[in-house]
Every structure is written in C-alpha cells, then in structure tokens.
C-alpha cells in the first residue's frame, strides 16, 4: 500500500526510493513530537515534489502528519485534457462512447 492505494511490490519499492530521495525521514520520531518534526524537517518544496507522485493523496498524508500541507489548493481545480493527452498519460488508446 502507498497513500492508502494498493500498489504492487515493484511500484512500492520505486515509491519508497523516490520518497526517501525527496525527504530523509527520521524513523526515530517520538509520537509527541511527530507533527513538529514533519513541519520542521520537510520544506514546502519537498511537499510539492511529493504531491507530484501519481499515488499521492493529500488527505491521507494530512491525516498522518496531523496538519494541513503547505500546498496550493489545486485538488478542487479541473484540468482540461484532450483524449489524446489522456491516452498518452495512461499509455493506451481511449475510445469515447456515447
């Protein structure tokens, strides 16, 4: 699981490497200072970089770290894309059926 989404072992390993390259987590954090440590040790730029991961879920992460992430509110915005752009992102052709 990554960000409460089921991913395969290979993708999990890719994500783990990517995330630990963006932030260097202190796995010794004590519960009572957990929120402060995340605020102190992860910059806005690092949060933005993490948010670019396709599996990233802002609400899940905010629930874990205990505070609102310093990200622009882009979740509510709708991004317009052509069918061709969507196909390229997904890696296969899309057929629109009416």
At 21-67, the pLDDT tens digits run 888 766 555 556 677 778 888 889 999 999 999 999 999 999 988 88
35, two tokens: 């929120």
Q: Is residue 79 part of a domain?
A: yes
Residue 30: the pLDDT is 59
Contact assessment for residue 71 and residue 58, using Cβ atoms and an 8 Å cutoff: yes
Count up the domains in the chain and report the number: 1
Residue 4 belongs to a domain: no
Query: How many whole angstroms separate alpha carbon 78 and alpha carbon 84?
Result: 17
- For 23, the domain range is 9-90
3-state helix, strand, coil in the chain (%, to 5): 50, 0, 50
List, in order, residues 6 or more apart from 83 with CB less than 8 Å away.
94, 96
Residue 3 is assigned to a structural domain of this protein? no
- Domain assignment present for 96: no
Q: Which of 10-19, 67-76, 82-91 has the lowest mean pLDDT?
A: 67-76
């Amino acid at each position: 699981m990554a960000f409460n989404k089921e991913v395969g072992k290979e993708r999990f390993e890719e994500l783990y490497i990517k995330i630990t390259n963006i932030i260097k987590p202190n796995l010794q954090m004590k519960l009572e200072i957990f929120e402060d440590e995340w605020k102190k040790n992860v910059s806005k730029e690092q949060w933005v970089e993490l948010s670019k991961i396709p599996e990233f879920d802002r609400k899940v992460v905010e629930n874990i770290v205990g505070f609102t992430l310093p990200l622009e509110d882009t979740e509510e915005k709708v991004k317009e894309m052509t069918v061709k752009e969507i196909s390229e992102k997904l890696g296969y052709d899309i057929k629109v059926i009416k």
